[in-house]
Structure 1
């Protein structure tokens, strides 16, 4: 293995290596640029020759970060769900690539990547479309949230691990960067009285049944819009959660639940009565236009029986909630409301975990740790009362 240096201009050197072609075995030259003294250039040349001899040498390439990201996303498409893949594209191509996408892969340093995180935090928010000549709003000039930047780093870390496996890099520069600090936000949820008021306000809307299932059963949005009448067992008062709807753009697909397992959720008498009333009302509505609903019909549906899309449910929820005096929370927060009320009422976390469809009880305890102090105080009082009741009365 040979290599030598050539001076191009004062302080600028070319390191020339004789690299064997893996297919033909013939020698071909690879050039490296180097800035520094002659001794430093000779040291760098010796290091590259040693890597070449040891088999750890990676040829300088002209692949940019953006080009690699596109290649990795194509590779990853078969390994994740369409929704997850769409999110990866947004994080890498729409957030990271505009900042460092033009950098050559083997020229990317941890310092450059840390600078990317800083840029995204300060001014990474993508501007919305606005009329021609209009100035950007203050909102558009803001940066991304630390949580979003944290997600960018996490996905990029995984992508560059693959670059190391593909021998495009010797080591992962993302692993040497520092993720932004993410502060845990307090969970937003309705209390019992707010939940009751919400249901009264939305009773005459098409969102009512979906909101009821989220607030009183803790179902996810995708699970709700995927429910069919065959899933409800009125005799035993349960609903089977077998699949979930996932929307990517305008397309909706039905897949297994988030935990990968189906579950049975017990229904209260209120939910059962509302479901019976909703089924009768839905049947009357569809029969008027010549549609006969059956067991395969969707519970949450349009007038003509077609299923409601997840994003449409969110938009309608946001629109209707804005007309009430209630706090503005996400539709998913109705699920949090149900979980919080369960635990506050003294329901065992294991039961709450099964009802919510969490894969482990640890997820439930971590998400709703803010409810635990009250539960501990209540438990301490119960134990204290039991011990006092068991004590023998003192002899006078």
Structure 2
């Protein structure tokens, strides 16, 4: 049988031999001594012929020589994800990203794949998971394709790290087939519907928050993380510097994901007036609570100054919209509503993107292409009327 010399760690030659034991053949590979100087050996039997044993031994020697050998382990997918992967990555990523990974791991991956040995996980097993998530066997409501793709991204990242840590020989998630996610239909309110909502919640405890969302296009966490130190009511601007994110237990403060996300937003006079009234009411709450007030400078907070829970805010918005008889949209759709109304009002796409904190103009154009296409058609008609229409046609006035 061939022998070889390992090229890593300056080790001694890797040698082996083969012998017949009973009716099958077994190989023994002598490794370099361990750190303690003790002998190390790899052996595997059960080969039906000497040739099969030689081939397997040479394959192992080649792997040892080029550094691709992976030590066999019985660690399960669940043990790897919860005991090795999550502790290792927690301090390296944003809290919101870790919370998303952790939810995918505990709610979807570990219950279904957790008992499989990590090195025995296969692409078909992963595909079966995706199928079950999309179409549960009990006939219940499945997850959306986009959600399953996010779960796939989490698993792929975990297995990529396992490959980098030399726990597996390949990332089997790379060969899996996550569903193709189609872009969900965007639902927004018209200007009269938005006005009806804001009028209908004007006396609610969080009226100022709803106004801020609707008239700035801020993300949920951006509104909840806003501090008075970031607001210039006289200058009519609000700086987005901090966000609040939901965790498995409670909330946490974070920062905008991108440089574009850290931005300054202009405020209109009505929003400034709402915020001034809100500040006076908040000061009254602070006096009523007394020494127990949690003074962390949040603009929108619980009566004791503590952060509002993002998920609770989303549920509250849905409940208020339903009570007012308005079309059901998500809280995030207030952001889309703001952008859509701004574009229809003639605000430049770049300005809208800057207000929303988009990373690039293309993101805004792509997200709201249904609006920009309508505006482009309107522009074509206006230019045609300018050329062929009556010179004194009032509709030809430049907007």
For the superposition of Structure 1 and Structure 2, which TM-score range results when normalised by the shorter chain?
Answer: 0.7 to 0.9
1:247 aligned residue: 246
1:83 aligned residue: 96
- Does structure 2 retain, via aligned residues, the 8 Å contact 1:358–1:364? yes
1:354 aligned residue: 354
CA distance in 1, matches of 2:258, 2:107: 29
- Does structure 1 retain, via aligned residues, the 8 Å contact 2:34–2:40? no
CA distance in 2, matches of 1:74, 1:150: 23
- Aligned-pair CA distance for 1:217: 1.0
**TM-score, length-normalised on structure 2?**
0.81
1:334 aligned residue: 334
Q: Residues 315-341 of structure 1, C-alpha deviation per residue, up to 9 Å, x if partnerless?
A: 322332231211222212111111121
1:165 aligned residue: 164
- Aligned-pair CA distance for 1:67: 1.8
**TM-score, length-normalised on structure 1?**
0.82
- Does structure 1 retain, via aligned residues, the 8 Å contact 2:231–2:237? yes
2:107 aligned residue: 94
CA distance in 2, matches of 1:310, 1:42: 61
Q: Which moved more, 1:210-219 or 1:102-111?
A: 102-111
For residues 20 and 304 of structure 1, do their structure 2 counterparts lie closer, same or farther at Cα, with a shift above 3 Å needed? closer
Q: Residues 262-297 of structure 1, C-alpha deviation per residue, up to 9 Å, x if partnerless?
A: 322112222223223333444455556669x9x974
- Does structure 2 retain, via aligned residues, the 8 Å contact 1:30–1:59? no
2:77 aligned residue: 65
Q: Which moved more, 1:72-81 or 1:318-327?
A: 318-327
- Aligned-pair CA distance for 1:196: 0.8
**Runs of 5+ unmatched residues, structure 1:** 125-136, 392-396
- Does structure 2 retain, via aligned residues, the 8 Å contact 1:207–1:317? no
- Does structure 2 retain, via aligned residues, the 8 Å contact 1:69–1:93? no
For residues 311 and 8 of structure 1, do their structure 2 counterparts lie closer, same or farther at Cα, with a shift above 3 Å needed? farther
CA distance in 2, matches of 1:122, 1:363: 32
- Aligned-pair CA distance for 1:40: 4.7
Q: What's the secondary structure of 1:2's corresponding residue?
A: strand
For residues 237 and 67 of structure 1, do their structure 2 counterparts lie closer, same or farther at Cα, with a shift above 3 Å needed? same
**Runs of 5+ unmatched residues, structure 2:** 1-14, 392-399
Q: Is 1:123 the counterpart of 2:122 in the alignment?
A: no
Q: Which moved more, 1:374-383 or 1:191-200?
A: 374-383
Count residues with an aligned counterpart: 373
Q: Residues 84-123 of structure 1, C-alpha deviation per residue, up to 9 Å, x if partnerless?
A: 2122122123312222222222222323322332233333
Q: What's the secondary structure of 1:245's corresponding residue?
A: strand
- Aligned-pair CA distance for 1:160: 1.5
For residues 241 and 100 of structure 1, do their structure 2 counterparts lie closer, same or farther at Cα, with a shift above 3 Å needed? closer
- Aligned-pair CA distance for 1:353: 0.8
- Aligned-pair CA distance for 1:33: 7.0
CA distance in 2, matches of 1:171, 1:306: 46
1:185 aligned residue: 184
Q: Is 1:2 the counterpart of 2:1 in the alignment?
A: no
- Does structure 1 retain, via aligned residues, the 8 Å contact 2:296–2:306? no
- Does structure 1 retain, via aligned residues, the 8 Å contact 2:237–2:264? yes
Q: Is 1:316 the counterpart of 2:316 in the alignment?
A: yes
1:144 aligned residue: 143
- Does structure 2 retain, via aligned residues, the 8 Å contact 1:228–1:298? yes
For residues 287 and 172 of structure 1, do their structure 2 counterparts lie closer, same or farther at Cα, with a shift above 3 Å needed? closer
CA distance in 2, matches of 1:321, 1:8: 77
